């Protein structure tokens, strides 16, 4: 229907949108002019019929005016929206956004934008706020996204802007993340909110226009933003967009980095000419399509056509009023600022960003402490506030210098020994390692303080595959060389150089974590001592027949060109045909399918036989077809020959009941013994030929003939299928659910490959490991991991220990070549011609020489050592005893082996833990450790596995020291991630840490990590939660600082332990001693059972709730009073609580506890020079626990909570000190209230707490609450609050909240709400409504309470 005409009249109500213009629009668009020069063209009937809304002279209240500045990002959005709806818009340079209708004004860019969209002819499609609220809400979210994310950060990107460098880099990261999210959404949607263009698209396209055409590199757009590119191109071609954006075009940036717009042009294209008018006639079909695309019922839309203008007008009026309110607030704020500037109002003092002078002096003094010397508290002053940089300074070096980490040899103390799970030398520790080491150091420090001779052995693992890969990539990146260009010896020199340069970073991190490791026993798995152990283990196990050589199928990684063990293979479950990207392959590869093809018989009369395979390329290595002996379909072809279509190989039909399932497929199975585990076993049973058709790097070898030789294996897959089709042998494909094996390191698809390798027979050792667990000689914690342990060991397979690498322990095996033999006669070691009996074993060459002379007496020969190295886990499996010098009978081995505990993640239970147990028991006769504690896996806050490519791998030093987003992004550069992975990871960092990571300090990080640790499988670690514990450190710091001031300079600590029998104790002191003893018991019991969550809860609750929140508050009136006896006993109890509390906390937070403990006065009998070697608190419930006092204090605390709740409900000011009256019923309640009446008054901020009997009446003017059947509390309110004022406030609040409830209810009652509104939005609305209703109930209840005071 027409939205305007010569007979149209303005709306009657002031402030509403006119139903139609009162005069005709300009005859044609004219150039933009300042508002004082706006011209009115002569009206014409034709123009009036076609135009929706008219822009008239400024000041004429009957016309619609939208004034937009050309230099604002939203200008373009307003102009395009106006074009869609036929709204006239004046573009005035430098003006603020205003929309004027009669007496109402909408202020703000988005207000103007929504107004234009709602007022125009296209409102039903662009912004259907009056007809389809859910759709409008969805559109609103995208409009906000464009304004608050895209526009904001785009303005910070061009270096010509005023933004700082950090802001620009942050903007770039934020924009990348936002564009990535946008691309993901558009991968499933043609437009942002349906199939047609809406205001959401106008906002977003306008925001990204400059980025897409000027800034973003073409390569980045094509690779990472394909969906955004398609979307932008399609939108830009639409008439209303192209009028302002110009012709759709690709980015002009052909470089690799983001470009700076030419001539310092803004990232947003300049809007086109105005005022703009559009004909509704030209847009009728498009608008109809758009309206239907928003799920509006066509019939309902037709019926509502007459009401459309009225609804649009009402909506625009609502928006106008809302924006007017915002404008009023802006004016009020401006007036307030002006008043402050004029001096009428004294501005609030801003907190200075400058650090306190005392804190600066304390930090300077701490940094001046000479490395390795004592940080004397008499010289280094105590800072006003907790600063981890100050606190952590100097202590670790002093501990190490004093030898506190070293055990005493020959000590009679019980031993507690633990070896570190050696981190890979390839790089730095991440937050998962920090968890492991925080747990281990907590246990070690606790045991040391409990009187054990504690030893924690440090070390690193050479990490064969990972380290070689890192150095090879570095060589290629920096010098363009491969390891083969250097040769083995030179390459290994480079790896050792790399290890020396970067390996120390790990130990620096461990020191910063406070790890109390005995650095004099530092080990590296390729040290001479540990290398000797590796050779010895191999020789001994070979002599026992446990290590053997065999030509068997291995899990081959073509990318790394090495074999890997079964537990280094990840599996992906596929439900059907799926295309996947495979490293090193051309394009995606199809998996999850089964292809069928035929072999023709040598006797043509027999026809053909059809087989099926999930790997068509392996047919090049087929050497048989198997059928079931009882299958009647194939009885006549048993033993007949088939002809290979490509190489002419004759393939027999064999019978095998073990392999073939007659009911599956055709009942005929192709056999490729050299490339499939089941076929390998079949080949052994039938003595088939083993034909390998692949090279080590995954190319088809000579078996492929000229047709396929040299092809990549998955390129050959397609080529084989095409060739079979050409020969009319191809019979199609079907979906085939399957498990696909991937290399856990390279993510390449594993290829079963026939290779002669060294293997370990694990069966007998696995039985011993199971027996140890069953007898509890080995305890696995948590116990629910035991079934997994048994299940894996029961089904253990032999372990391939050969690795085709250069970095690692070279296998001490030597191949014998007799003099005069040709290469064919001697065979090639590692090849298909290898002769297994030519291997001899020796720790060194001379030992192997002797073995070979005995094996080949009287013959001359040469020896060549195996080129391969041992699996890294072979040397790691020896770690618990090789670190002590095994196989030599060293003093360390005698004193410290077996160890007490192995703590690690459950993810390497089989990689490492099981192998240590098996090899330890076999080679030493002892289980290497008494207990295994398997902690949970650390994931990020979203539950994702830590991965460099996701950007969620966090260096613990970044948490300790803090880091900006800019510097966090830089940590990803220069590593082994490619450019696209770096950008993806940086986007992840921008999402998770938009403001970087704040400085938290070591103690807070350690405590948070240990507190997270429950005996489960996964920890979703939110790094920012650590900040909370950093604040807690500050609270503890202030508590000790307060105590130091109140103890006084001449204070002498009590020489006799404080107990319940100590003289002159207050009730609060008795309660505090009792609570302390229970906390000590809880922490010790929890650590004994590795319940870290329980131990941290116990120590945290004691410090936070018992000591800081209660006892320190209760002692203030005592120390400020005149009772010197009470003062002395209270101070002694305070000292006792602090001393015990710091010792209790030390294993978790070593630095801050040492710093504070050193500042506490000491008993004369105390001999420990450091808290880390002081005695750990021990529970003595007989002398310290008082259950009666604790029960009575619990009752008193219930009263305190009730008083605090009453204060809050009556809005009592914080400084108010009302009287409190407690009516107690029964002897116990009277005793409790009487004992702690003063405590209640102190903790509840009351002037006094009077205990009344049931017969006593409380004074008038009190608020009242019932605590329990024995206790009622009255709080005097008279004089503290004005009931009538509070009632008026609450009633006003109730009215406002009821209005919100009504609006929500109306929205939720709309037709189609349940079907059209997303479930998440419906849930949010329901929660809001429930919250509002609860607020009304609380307010109404408070009103009733206040009325009682009138």
In the three-class reduction of DSSP (H, G, I as helix; E, B as strand; rest coil), residue 1284 is classed as helix
Enumerate residues 6+ apart whose C-beta is below 8 A from 571: 739, 740, 741, 742
The pLDDT of residue 1063: 94
Q: How far apart are CA 972 and CA 985, in angstroms?
A: 8
- How high is the pLDDT of residue 296? 31
> What are 299-334's pLDDT values in tens digits?
443 444 444 445 444 555 544 554 455 455 445 545
- Helices 308-342 and 109-119, packing angle to 10 deg: 160
User: Is the per-residue pLDDT at 957 higher than 70?
Assistant: yes
Residue 1168, class by beta-carbon neighbours within 10 Å (0-12 exposed, 13-18 middle, 19+ buried)? middle
Q: What is the pLDDT of residue 114?
A: 77
Q: What does the chain come to in residues?
A: 1350
Summarize pLDDT for 510-559 with one digit per residue, the tens: 999 999 999 999 999 999 999 999 999 999 999 999 999 999 999 999 98
Contact, 146 vs 207, CB < 8 A? Answer: yes
| Signed CA dihedral, 217, 220, 222, 226: sign only | negative
DSSP class of 936: P
pLDDT digits (tens, 9 = 90+) for 447-491: 999 999 999 999 999 988 888 888 888 898 889 999 999 999 999
pLDDT for the residue numbered 253: 81
Largest CA distance in the chain: 123
Residues 793-845 pLDDT 10s: 999 999 999 999 999 999 999 999 999 999 889 999 988 889 999 999 999 99
Mark 974-985 as b/e (b = at least 16 C-beta within 10 Å): eeebeeebbbbb
Res. 1032: pLDDT tops 70: yes
- Classify burial at 1085, counting beta carbons within 10 Å of its beta carbon; exposed 0-12, middle 13-18, buried 19 or more: middle
Q: What are the residues whose beta carbons fall under 8 Å from the beta carbon of 213, sequence distance 6 or more?
A: 249, 250, 251, 252, 269
pLDDT tens digits, residue range 565-586? 887 888 899 999 999 999 989 8
Quick one: which of 967, 978, 985 has its CA closest to 219?
978
Looking at per-residue confidence, does 593 or 143 come out higher? Answer: 593
Tens digits of per-residue pLDDT, 847-883?
999 999 999 999 999 999 999 999 999 999 999 999 9
Q: pLDDT tens-digit profile of 106-146?
A: 445 666 777 777 776 677 778 886 677 667 777 877 887 88
Q: Could you tell me which residues are beta bridge partners of residue 1263?
A: 1275
Average pLDDT value over all residues in the chain: 83
Q: Is the pLDDT of residue 1176 over 50?
A: yes
- State both tokens at 1036: 């503890």
Left (φ > 0), alpha (ψ -120 to 50) or beta: where does 742 sit? beta
- Conformational region of residue 1146, where left means phi above 0, alpha means psi within -120 to 50, and beta covers everything else: alpha
665/669 Cα distance (integer angstroms): 9
Could you read off the pLDDT of 151-181 as tens digits, one per residue? Answer: 776 665 665 444 455 556 666 777 787 888 7
Tokens for 1138, please give them.
């602090």
| Run of H or E including 111 | helix 109-119
In degrees, rounded to 5, the angle at the alpha carbon of residue 771 between the alpha carbons of residues 768 and 772 is 90
Sign of CA dihedral 851, 852, 858, 863: negative
Whether this prediction's pTM lies above 0.85 is answered by no
Average of per-residue pLDDT across 1314-1337? 86
Q: 1278: which strand partners?
A: 1281
Q: What is the pLDDT of residue 63?
A: 40
pLDDT value of residue 233 = 87
pLDDT tens profile 6-45: 333 322 222 222 222 222 222 222 222 222 222 223 222 2
For residue range 749-761, list pLDDT tens digits in order: 999 999 999 999 9
What pLDDT was estimated at residue 121? Answer: 66
User: Side-chain half-sphere of 1216: how many Cα atoms within 13 Å?
Assistant: 20
Give yes or no for residue 100 having a pLDDT over 70. no
Q: Give exposure, 240-267, as e/b (b: 16+ Cβ within 10 Å).
A: bbeebbeebeebebeeeebbbbeeeebb
């Amino acid at each position: 229907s027409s939205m305007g005409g010569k007979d149209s009249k303005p709306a009657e109500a002031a402030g509403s949108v006119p139903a139609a213009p009162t005069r005709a629009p300009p005859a044609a668009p004219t150039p933009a002019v300042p508002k004082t020069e706006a011209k009115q063209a002569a009206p014409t009937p034709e123009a009036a019929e076609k135009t929706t809304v008219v822009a008239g002279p400024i000041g004429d209240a009957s016309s619609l005016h939208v004034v937009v500045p050309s230099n604002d990002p939203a200008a373009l959005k307003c102009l395009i929206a106006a074009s869609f709806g036929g709204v006239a818009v004046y573009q005035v340079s430098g003006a603020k956004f205003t929309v004027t209708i009669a007496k109402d004004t909408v202020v703000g860019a988005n207000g103007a934008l929504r107004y234009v969209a709602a007022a125009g002819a296209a409102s039903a499609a662009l912004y259907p706020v009056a007809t389809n609220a859910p759709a409008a809400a969805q559109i609103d979210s995208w409009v906000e996204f464009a304004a608050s994310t895209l526009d904001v950060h785009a303005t910070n990107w061009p270096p010509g802007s005023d933004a700082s460098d950090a802001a620009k880099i942050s903007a770039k990261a934020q924009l990348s993340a936002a564009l990535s999210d946008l691309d993901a959404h558009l991968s499933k949607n043609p437009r942002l909110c349906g199939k047609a263009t809406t205001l959401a698209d106008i906002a977003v396209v306008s925001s990204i226009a400059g980025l897409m055409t000027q800034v973003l590199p073409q390569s980045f757009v094509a690779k990472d933003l394909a969906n955004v590119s398609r979307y932008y191109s399609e939108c830009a071609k639409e008439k209303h967009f192209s009028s302002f954006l110009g012709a759709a075009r690709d980015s002009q940036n052909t470089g690799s980095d983001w470009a700076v717009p030419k001539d310092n042009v803004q990232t947003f294209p300049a809007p086109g000419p105005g005022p703009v008018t559009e004909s509704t006639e030209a847009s009728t079909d498009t608008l109809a399509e758009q309206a239907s695309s928003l799920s509006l019922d066509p019939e309902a839309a037709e019926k509502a056509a007459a009401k459309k203008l009225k609804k649009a007008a009402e909506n625009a009026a609502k928006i106008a009023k809302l924006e007017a309110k915002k404008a009023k607030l802006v004016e009020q704020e401006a007036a307030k600022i002006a008043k402050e500037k004029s001096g009428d109002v004294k501005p609030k003092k801003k907190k200075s960003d400058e650090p306190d002078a005392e804190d600066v002096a304390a930090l300077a003094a701490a940094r001046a402490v000479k490395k390795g010397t004592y940080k004397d508290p008499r010289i280094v002053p105590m800072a006003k506030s907790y600063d981890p940089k100050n606190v952590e300074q100097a202590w670790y070096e002093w501990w190490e210098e004093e030898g506190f980490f070293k055990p005493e040899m020959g000590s009679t103390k019980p031993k507690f020994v633990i070896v570190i799970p050696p981190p890979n030398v390839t790089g730095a520790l991440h937050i998962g390692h920090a968890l492991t080491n925080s747990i281990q150091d907590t246990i070690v420090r606790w045991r040391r303080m409990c009187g054990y001779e504690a030893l924690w052995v440090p070390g690193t693992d050479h990490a064969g595959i990972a380290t070689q890969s890192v150095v090879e990539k570095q060589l290629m990146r920096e010098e363009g060389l491969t390891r083969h260009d250097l040769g083995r010896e030179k390459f290994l020199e480079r790896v050792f150089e790399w290890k020396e340069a970067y390996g120390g970073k790990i130990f620096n991190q461990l020191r910063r974590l406070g790890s109390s490791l005995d650095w004099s026993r530092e080990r590296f798995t390729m040290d001479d001592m540990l290398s000797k152990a590796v050779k010895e283990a191999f020789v001994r196990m070979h002599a026992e027949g446990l290590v053997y050589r065999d030509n068997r199928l291995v899990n081959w990684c073509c990318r790394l060109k090495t074999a890997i063990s079964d537990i280094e293979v990840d599996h992906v479950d596929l439900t059907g045909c799926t295309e996947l990207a495979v490293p090193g392959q051309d394009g995606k590869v199809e998996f999850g399918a089964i292809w069928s093809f035929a072999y023709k018989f040598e006797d043509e009369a027999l026809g053909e036989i059809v087989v099926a395979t999930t790997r068509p390329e392996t047919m090049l290595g087929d050497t048989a077809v198997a059928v079931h002996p009882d299958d009647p379909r194939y009885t006549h072809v048993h033993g007949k020959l088939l002809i290979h279509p490509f190489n002419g190989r004759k393939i027999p039909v064999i019978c095998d009941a073990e392999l073939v399932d007659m009911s599956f497929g055709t009942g005929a199975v192709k056999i490729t013994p050299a490339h499939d585990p089941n076929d390998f076993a079949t080949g052994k049973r039938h003595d088939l030929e083993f034909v390998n058709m692949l090279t080590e790097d995954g190319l088809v070898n000579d078996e492929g003939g000229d047709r396929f030789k040299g092809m990549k294996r998955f390129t050959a897959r397609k080529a084989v299928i095409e060739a079979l089709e050409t020969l009319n042998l191809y019979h199609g494909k079907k979906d085939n659910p399957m498990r696909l094996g991937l290399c856990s390191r390279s993510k390449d698809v594993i290829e079963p490959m026939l290779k002669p390798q060294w293997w370990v027979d694990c069966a007998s050792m696995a039985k011993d490991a199971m027996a140890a667990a069953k007898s509890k000689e080995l305890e696995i914690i948590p116990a629910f991991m035991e079934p997994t342990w048994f299940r894996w060991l029961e089904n253990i397979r032999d372990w391939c220990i050969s690795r085709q690498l250069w970095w690692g322990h070279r296998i001490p095996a030597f191949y014998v070549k007799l003099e005069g033999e040709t290469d064919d006669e001697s065979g090639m070691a590692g090849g298909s011609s290898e002769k297994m009996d030519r291997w001899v074993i020796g720790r060194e060459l001379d030992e192997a020489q002797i073995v070979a002379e005995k094996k080949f007496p009287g013959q001359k020969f040469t020896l060549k050592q195996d080129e391969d190295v041992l699996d890294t886990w072979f040397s790691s499996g020896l770690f618990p005893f090789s670190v002590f010098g095994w196989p030599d009978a060293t003093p360390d081995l005698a004193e410290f082996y077996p160890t007490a505990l192995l703590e690690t993640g459950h993810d390497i239970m089989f990689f490492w833990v099981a192998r240590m147990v098996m090899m330890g028991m076999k080679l030493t006769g002892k289980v290497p450790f008494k207990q295994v504690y398997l902690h949970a896996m650390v994931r990020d806050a979203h539950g994702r596995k830590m991965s460099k490519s996701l950007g969620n791998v966090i260096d613990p030093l970044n948490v300790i020291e803090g880091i900006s987003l800019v510097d966090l992004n830089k940590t990803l550069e220069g590593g082994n991630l490619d450019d696209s992975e770096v950008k993806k990871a940086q986007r992840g960092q921008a999402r998770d840490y938009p403001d970087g990571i704040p400085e938290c300090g070591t103690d807070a990080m350690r405590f948070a990590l240990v507190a997270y640790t429950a005996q489960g499988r996964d920890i979703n670690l939110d790094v920012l939660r650590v900040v909370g514990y950093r604040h807690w450190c500050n609270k503890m710091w202030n508590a000790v600082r307060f105590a130091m001031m109140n103890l006084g300079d001449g204070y002498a600590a009590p020489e006799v332990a404080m107990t319940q029998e100590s003289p002159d104790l207050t009730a609060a002191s008795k309660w505090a001693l009792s609570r302390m003893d229970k906390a000590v018991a809880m922490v010790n019991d929890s650590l004994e059972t590795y319940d870290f969550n329980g131990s941290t809860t116990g120590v945290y609750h004691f410090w936070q709730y018992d000591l800081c929140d209660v006892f320190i508050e209760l002692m203030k009136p005592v120390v400020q009073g005149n009772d010197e006896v009470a003062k002395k006993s209270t101070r002694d109890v305070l000292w006792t609580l602090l001393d015990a509390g710091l010792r209790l906390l030390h294993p978790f937070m070593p630095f801050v506890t040492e710093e504070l403990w050193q500042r506490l006065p000491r008993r004369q009998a105390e001999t420990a020079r450091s808290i880390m070697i002081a005695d750990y608190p021990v529970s003595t419930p007989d002398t310290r626990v008082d259950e009666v006092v604790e029960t009575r204090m619990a009752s008193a605390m219930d009263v305190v909570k009730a008083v605090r709740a009453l204060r809050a409900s009556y809005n009592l000011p914080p400084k108010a000190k009302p009287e409190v009256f407690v009516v107690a019923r029964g002897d116990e309640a009277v005793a409790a209230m009487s004992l702690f009446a003063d405590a209640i008054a102190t903790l509840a901020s009351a002037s006094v707490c009077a205990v009344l009997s049931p017969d006593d009446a409380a004074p008038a003017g009190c608020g009242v609450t019932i605590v329990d059947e024995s206790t009622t509390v009255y709080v005097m309110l008279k004089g503290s609050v004005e009931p009538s004022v509070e009632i008026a406030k609450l009633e006003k609040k109730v009215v406002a909240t009821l209005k919100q409830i009504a609006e929500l209810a109306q929205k939720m009652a709309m037709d189609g709400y349940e079907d059209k509104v997303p479930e998440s939005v419906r849930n949010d609305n329901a929660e809001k409504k429930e919250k509002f209703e609860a607020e009304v109930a609380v307010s109404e209840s408070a009103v009733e309470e206040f009325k009682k005071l009138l």
